[in-house]
């Protein structure tokens, strides 16, 4: 008989019995199913958070690309992309300064201020190592980015690169392999 992995199915099997002994096979099965259910739910939530953060990032970059002064540009330079990234990272600086000013001396920072500082720190660290962004130095990708429907399903049509603050452009590993094979 196959082992049921779904918590609902395991619970249905055990409805007939009032109590399950802690060392019984059925208890272990129920415990495995419960832990698996938690793991699946946590994974779904984590993927949702990552998707949301990517969507927010790409929407901000899209707004920068769609600005009136950038409307006629077909490609962007590395410095312009770095400037867009810095604008994205500093998007909450005004709120952060307001929270710091509102805090009385000697008091701990608010949870919102801690969250903003932590997020800004992570984003700056990512920028130092290489910030994940669409390849706006390629005119086909810029056109596709402008046509993007601003949903996660359309992200797969874009090519991405990592741009570091000091190191500049970093081509993803898969693209390097393709270029090496073409030569």
Q: List domains and CATH numbers for the chain.
A: 7-182 (1.20.1440.170)
Among the listed ranges 34-38, 62-66, 91-95, which one has the minimum average pLDDT value? 34-38
Which pLDDT does position 14 carry in this prediction? 65
Say yes or no to pLDDT of 154 above 50. Answer: yes
| Cross-strand bridge partners of residue 163 | 131, 169
Distance CA 117, CA 114 (A): 5
Q: Buried (b) or exposed (e) across 166-178, using 16+ Cβ within 10 A?
A: eeeeeeeeeeeee
The residue assigned the tokens 């094979």 is 181
Q: What is the mean pLDDT of residues 159-163?
A: 90
User: Are 87 and 62 spatial neighbours (Cβ–Cβ below 8 Å)?
Assistant: no
pLDDT the model gives residue 152: 80
Percentage of the chain modeled with pLDDT above 70 = 76
Q: How many CB atoms lie within 10 A of CB 65?
A: 20
Could you tell me the pTM of the whole model? 0.67
Query: From CA 45, how far away is CA 176, in angstroms rounded?
Result: 32
């Amino acid at each position: 008989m196959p082992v049921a992995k779904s918590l609902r199915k395991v619970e249905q099997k055990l409805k007939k019995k009032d109590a399950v002994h802690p060392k019984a096979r059925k208890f272990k099965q129920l415990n495995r199913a419960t832990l698996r259910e938690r793991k699946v739910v946590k994974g779904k939530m984590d993927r949702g958070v990552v998707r949301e953060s990517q969507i927010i990032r790409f929407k901000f970059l899209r707004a920068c690309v769609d600005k009136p002064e950038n409307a006629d540009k077909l490609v962007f330079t590395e410095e312009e992309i770095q400037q867009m990234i810095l604008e994205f990272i500093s998007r909450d600086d005004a709120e952060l300064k307001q929270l710091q000013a509102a805090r009385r001396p000697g008091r701990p920072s608010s949870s919102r201020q801690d969250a903003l500082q932590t997020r800004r720190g992570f984003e700056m660290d990512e920028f130092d190592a290489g910030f994940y962004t669409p390849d706006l130095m390629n005119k086909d990708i810029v056109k596709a980015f402008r046509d993007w429907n601003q949903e996660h399903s359309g992200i797969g049509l874009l090519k991405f690169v990592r741009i570091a603050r000091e190191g500049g452009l970093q081509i993803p590993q898969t693209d390097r392999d393709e270029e090496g094979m073409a030569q």
